Structure 1
Amino acid sequence: MRQLALLAVVPLLLGAAEPRLVPDVSDTRIDIAYSFTGAQLLLFGAILYPAGTRPSPDTEIAVVVKGPSEALLVREKAKVAGIWVNHASERFRSVPSFYAVATSRPLDTVVSPRTAAIYELGINDLLLSPANGAGADEQARFETGLIDLKRRNGLYAEHIGAVSIREGVLYRAALPIPARVPVGNYTAETFLIRNGRVIAAASRDIAIGKSGFERFVAGAAEAQPLLYGLVAIGLSLLLGWIAAIAFRRRAR
């Protein structure tokens, strides 16, 4: 019985020997108003080591900010008879609307390919879930195109070396949030890495939403889509009529 009790305690002792993370973020909510031009999100925290354990010099940190998933249809254009037309398409079931990763060192020197795939550390290791069942080459082509579009819009980014670790205990990283960031619930995940594998992880939630008049308009469009559409058409006609009158008076 005593041997069985010791065997049951061993896993607990081994688990207690690993450090843990205490993460935090500068803003748990980011409001988007008409004048929003982007934001700087600070992710910071501490690495707590078990009593009597010194900070390890080979410890690395990776932080990932991920937006809500969305279904996307990606179209590929081709020139037919001198005209660009939609040639092929690929549907993706679950694509992160925003993805940014920051690391203390280059990813390929921090984690193994298997670990990167498991935790989706890096843009090329994201699971994009294609739904059309196309061939591997065609799927890879559409995934490359999708990632390229996200990169160009500032929605996918990798910030190598952006995480600083002080005395092996305190860490911090600043990630830019672009002006065209989608609204929704985000997660900020922190990974503690040693010898190519993740030994601890922790996350914080972040909400990005509209505020002020933009929030009122977005809420009205979602709650009363028909009324919102009629009001939008009415305003367009009214503004067009006012512009026509002003142009006539100016032409006289």
Structure 2
Amino acid sequence: MRTVYICFVIVLLLISRTALSQEIVLGLSKNEVGITAFFDGSEILVFGAIKPNKAIETNVPVDVIVTIASPRQPVTAWRKEKKFGIWVNVDAVEIDLAPNFYAVATTAPFNQVVNAVSDLRHSISVERMIRSVGAPMEVDEPNEFSKAIIRIRQDQGLYQTLPGAVILKENMLFSTAVTLPSNLLEGEYVARIFLTKEGDVISYHETTIDVRKVGVGRWLYNLAHTHPAFYGLLSLAVAIFAGWLAAMAFRAVRS
């Protein structure tokens, strides 16, 4: 399957050699991801080619960075302390913008493929993708809240740093695979590809991936948001019916 994708990229490359303003030809194995009731994750193959250009036809090798991000949204981070034997929330910081899912794959260790200035300008690293402008004055070490969000979502497989996961052949063809976990939120995800040389971003391209609930999951989601009262009654009826079935099964086993 990957051979087919690479051949497709080569055809695109030959067709568009005259358009030197664009240096990256990009393709995805899928532009849509459907979240069903039994969705257990998915994998997206990102592949492409670097078109010959005087800016990159030098003895200095180029590197490729691939990122996939969900829409960013606010999130509240809490700090817990143990008081009287009970863990309670004591401090909170509102993170202005943070993606629920973010993956960054590179051809080499991150610090070797992009410098701090380019990272700041393009928000490539996980830390730069999280925006936290202000925090309450009484909160100590507010940066620790952002680090906690990163740590928790890394443990959940939602934040992924994949050094060396991008395969670059002959300084022209590249490919990588990004695994999407089962606990995705729907929305328009953005796939970005950066071409770097000596740590500087010299070319950039992006496309979108539509992640949506489908089937029964979509029907239940729409029902909960458009008719919440009916959804609540339906949930109650299902719970009562399930309890009745469990009771009948228990009686049958005992008898």
2:190 is matched with 187
Q: 1:160 aligns with which of 163, 169, 189?
A: 163
CA distance in 2, matches of 1:29, 1:53: 32
SS of alignment partner, residue 142 of structure 2: helix
1:6 is matched with none
Q: Which deviates further from its counterpart, 56-65 or 121-130?
A: 121-130
Q: 1:145 aligns with which of 148, 154, 159?
A: 148
- Closer, same or farther in 2 for the Cα pair 1:53/1:117, shift >3 Å? closer
Give the C-alpha shift of residue 92 in structure 1.
1.6
1:214 is matched with 217
Give the C-alpha shift of residue 138 in structure 1.
2.4
2:244 is matched with 241
AA of the residue aligned to 2:114 = V
Structure 1 unaligned blocks of 5 or more? 1-15
Q: 2:116 aligns with which of 109, 113, 116?
A: 113
Give the C-alpha shift of residue 19 in structure 1.
6.1
1:79 is matched with 82
Note if 1:42 corresponds to 2:67.
Answer: no
Give the C-alpha shift of residue 27 in structure 1.
0.5
AA of the residue aligned to 2:99 = P
Q: 2:203 aligns with which of 200, 204, 214?
A: 200
SS of alignment partner, residue 217 of structure 1: helix
Aligned ranges for residues 11-90 of structure 1 at < 5 Å?
20-50=23-53, 54=57, 57-90=60-93
AA of the residue aligned to 2:187 = G
- Closer, same or farther in 2 for the Cα pair 1:240/1:110, shift >3 Å? same
Q: Which deviates further from its counterpart, 94-103 or 49-58?
A: 49-58
SS of alignment partner, residue 188 of structure 2: strand
Give the C-alpha shift of residue 54 in structure 1.
3.6
- Closer, same or farther in 2 for the Cα pair 1:52/1:195, shift >3 Å? closer
- Closer, same or farther in 2 for the Cα pair 1:119/1:53, shift >3 Å? closer
CA distance in 2, matches of 1:120, 1:52: 23
CA distance in 2, matches of 1:52, 1:98: 33
Give the C-alpha shift of residue 132 in structure 1.
3.6
AA of the residue aligned to 1:120 = S
Q: How many residues align?
A: 237
Q: Which deviates further from its counterpart, 125-134 or 59-68?
A: 125-134
Q: So what's the TM-score if we normalise by structure 2?
A: 0.85
Larger of the two Rg values belongs to structure: 1
1:4 is matched with none
CA distance in 1, matches of 2:214, 2:67: 25
CA distance in 2, matches of 1:242, 1:130: 53
| Contact 1:57–1:168 (Cα < 8 Å) also in 2 | no
SS of alignment partner, residue 138 of structure 1: coil
SS of alignment partner, residue 162 of structure 1: coil
Structure 2 unaligned blocks of 5 or more? 1-18
Q: Percent identity?
A: 29
RMSD: 2.3
Give the C-alpha shift of residue 80 in structure 1.
0.4
CA distance in 1, matches of 2:67, 2:138: 30
CA distance in 1, matches of 2:83, 2:45: 48
